[in-house]
Amino acid sequence: MTTRRVIAAMIIGLALAGCATTVDDSDDDAASIPASTGADVTDVPQGAAPALADGELIEGDVIDENVPVATTLVGGAAADLLPEMATEMSRLSGLIAESTTDDESFARIESIWNSIRSEIADTHPELVDGLSATVDMARTAVGSTRPADADKAFRILTDLVDNYFGE
């Protein structure tokens, strides 16, 4: 099966997976937990005590809202993750146009690329610059709200994935 067919099957699978299950948490035990008036700071790591000395909240309960959300490094072989990266890239243009979760999608693309970059460099060094450029184009597309750049990145990525699989 060609990579394009695999990618098309993944896109169709994602579209079908869009039907979500609703979970009713109304019986959750969280409501029975009493609200705490303060945190237990008896087991503080060495050096952290001065930060807790005055007991004041930082910025009204928020330490820093501008810190990027941490993403976990995706694991797996490049042969498995490149089609997944292409699927995420195929969705990016629509997400940018709708002004919805494009940051999450791009974070996934970047995480996949960061996890497979060294393997690609070892096995297919001729593809590293091109794949890196598609991730950079996706970053620009998200940052500048340019769906056309995301489409272009996807088209280039598709060709590079075909090259990776020898098609």
**Which residues in the chain land under pLDDT 50?**
13-41, 44-45, 47-71
Residues 43, 44, 50, 51: is their CA dihedral positive or negative?
negative
3-state secondary structure of 145: coil
Instruction: Write down the pLDDT at residue 9.
Output: 53
- Its pTM stands at 0.57
Burial classification of residue 109, based on how many CB atoms lie within 10 Å of its CB (0-12 exposed, 13-18 middle, 19 or more buried): buried
Q: Between the CA of residue 5 and those of 22, 80, 84, what are the distances in Å?
A: 32, 14, 13
**161 contacts 83 by C-beta, under 8 angstroms:** yes
pLDDT, tens only, 82-94: 999 999 999 999 9
Instruction: Write down the pLDDT at residue 139.
Output: 94
Domain ranges of the chain: 78-164
